[in-house]
Structure 1
Amino acid sequence: MELEPEADAMPATPAGMLASRVARARSRSGLSLRALAEKLGYPHTYLSRVERGEQVPSPALADALDDFHGTDGLIAELLVVAMAAEVPTWGRRVLDEERRAARIQTFNSSVVPGLLQTEAYTSALFRESMPGKDSEKVALRVGTRSHRRAVLDSATPPLYWAIMDEAALRRPVGGPAVMAEQIRQILNTAETNSAVQVQVLPFARGVHPLLGGSLSLLTLRDGLTFAYVESFASGVSVDAPADVLELTTLLDIARSKALDSGESASLLHRYLKEYEG
């Protein structure tokens, strides 16, 4: 028997209202989850998770639901509100500006850079790093990061230069299968998207000035560059030219110690074989 989500039991949050709206729209159409899934061309399990608030819909699914139910863009608008509400205040500027950036340079010392993460990797990462948070909040954070990846697939993507410490590859987030999928995703993106450059800073190169942190430099299309420094539970945007120059120097030093793109690909393939094995 197909279980129906209890739309009225959803919490009064943007995410809860989104899930309730999706469930009510289907209920009014008189369709089962499987019937709606067949008409839209999406797995019924995916629609079920959306209606239960366990996963946010993709922008494409939100548009498809609006078109099918004739809700005049309401579901897509609720999706934007739900995701924006969950982004920490310190990270909202990056979320807004990276869609308009001409170049994004980023360094991560302990995890795979966000725009390169697979959904399974992000989900495993947030489940472990958000203790005490309910599934709705975790789903929203995963969905927000998943939607951010569309920046690299746009018609005019920014130049994305990602550097990661080898620790990000050594740490098995989600287990071997998740890591293998994640590394394949990095390799495929670097090989097929000319706007993406990936470098790995190996343990053998020793100490570098960005140990234990995350730094992004975003250059907008008008030439303005600002920095974003993030720790485990906070972040700050940096605009002062002298401070941006200092952080750019630190990133340049880390980049100078990293492997070039070909050497980085070789190291990624070695880790891939290890996780597949």
Structure 2
Amino acid sequence: MRNQIPLVDRLLRGSHAMELEPEEDAMPASPAGMLAARAGRARAQRGLSLRALAEKLGYPHTYLSRVERGEQLPSEALADALDEFYGTEGLFAELLVVAVAAEVPVYGRKVLEEEKRAARIQTFNSSVVPGLLQTENYASALFTESMPGKDAEQVALQVATRSHRRAVLDSSTPPLYWAIMDEAALRRPVGGPAVMADQFRHILDVIENNSAVRVQVLPFSCGVHPLLGGSLSLLTLRDGVTFAYVESFASGTPVDAPAEVLELTMLLDIARSKALDSRESVSLLRKYLKEYEDDIDS
């Protein structure tokens, strides 16, 4: 059973298995940075190499290396494995929760909290690939260009947070994930042809191998639709309650008033009615994939 002492108190007081004293003259660490540092320190205290730890935990050493460098957040399973191996009584699992929440804007935290409890997630994106379908390279290129003035570490944390969220689709009981995206998201070359080709291969692979995922494309030929210029997510929880999340530019708004949720659901239904069906959408994705692959070779 995990220690019930609040996380903040534990970070201040320390743990019997691993001291948590700040380094002299060190700047306050972000939760993600603290998690990475603690992981590296715990391994060093055991005198283990990354490869040796990988053999004991059953995870690739390259994955563990990215976690210790702060380039990727651990999965919940890895955080639990680290706690069990080091005897840290839930410290890594709790740091993971705080790290993920810290990198999500306040207005988006309700979505983060509810994604894991959702029975169905319906989403529309007008200009980029939906977040839970993004590859790390696509997300990195997207955040680098859309976060001017942010340093590489901040961008890496945003990418790591998005990568961690994708795990919801790989869970043992994933929600039905129904994504609709405007053809503009296919045409816009985020990160260049190689990144886009890899992104489309990933989407096609997910469609083929995950029966809980549906993807449709709204083609340019459909003309005007009611969701131009923004993104909308509808999360239906397992108790049947649905709430909406509307996002545009650098802000977002959770919506849970029944009348407003119903109105947004109707707008999404209209957009979906204009979209290509699953087979046609896959054909269009393959067409764009070939074009990006040809650009790489040219």
Please list, as runs of the form range in 1=range in 2, the aligned pairs for 1:159-174 lying within 5 A after superposition.
Answer: 159-174=176-191
Q: CA deviation at 1:42?
A: 4.3
Deviations 1:63-99 (A, max 9, x none): 3332332222211221111111121111111111121
Q: Given the alignment, which residue of 113, 116, 119 partners 2:136?
A: 119
Distance (whole Å) between structure 2 residues aligned to residue 10 and residue 180 of structure 1: 40
1:3 maps to none
1:246 maps to 263
2:158 maps to 141
Deviations 1:21-71 (A, max 9, x none): 112101211223444345445454443433333332233332333233222
Distance (whole Å) between structure 2 residues aligned to residue 175 and residue 261 of structure 1: 26
Q: Given the alignment, which residue of 214, 221, 231 partners 1:204?
A: 221
SS in 2 for 1:230: strand
Q: Is the 8 A contact 1:10 1:20 kept in 2?
A: no
**Superposed CA RMSD:** 2.0
**What is the TM-score normalised by the length of structure 2?**
0.84
1:81 maps to 98
Please list, as runs of the form range in 1=range in 2, the aligned pairs for 1:27-46 lying within 5 A after superposition.
Answer: 27-46=44-63
Q: Which amino acid aligns with 1:81?
A: V
2:249 maps to 232
**What is the TM-score normalised by the length of structure 1?**
0.90
* Aligned-pair identity (%): 82
The answer to whether residue 147 in structure 2 is matched with residue 130 in structure 1 is yes
The answer to whether residue 203 in structure 2 is matched with residue 186 in structure 1 is yes
Q: Which amino acid aligns with 2:144?
A: R
Q: Is the 8 A contact 2:231 2:247 kept in 1?
A: yes
- Out of 152-161 and 260-269, give the one that drifted further: 152-161
Distance (whole Å) between structure 2 residues aligned to residue 58 and residue 101 of structure 1: 19
Q: Between Structure 1 and Structure 2, how many residues are aligned?
A: 271
Q: Structure 1 regions of 5+ residues with no counterpart?
A: 1-6
Q: Given the alignment, which residue of 218, 236, 239 partners 1:222?
A: 239
Deviations 1:239-259 (A, max 9, x none): 222211221121111111111
Q: Is the 8 A contact 2:71 2:160 kept in 1?
A: no
SS in 2 for 1:226: strand
2:5 maps to none
Q: Structure 2 regions of 5+ residues with no counterpart?
A: 1-21
Distance (whole Å) between structure 1 residues aligned to residue 71 and residue 211 of structure 2: 34
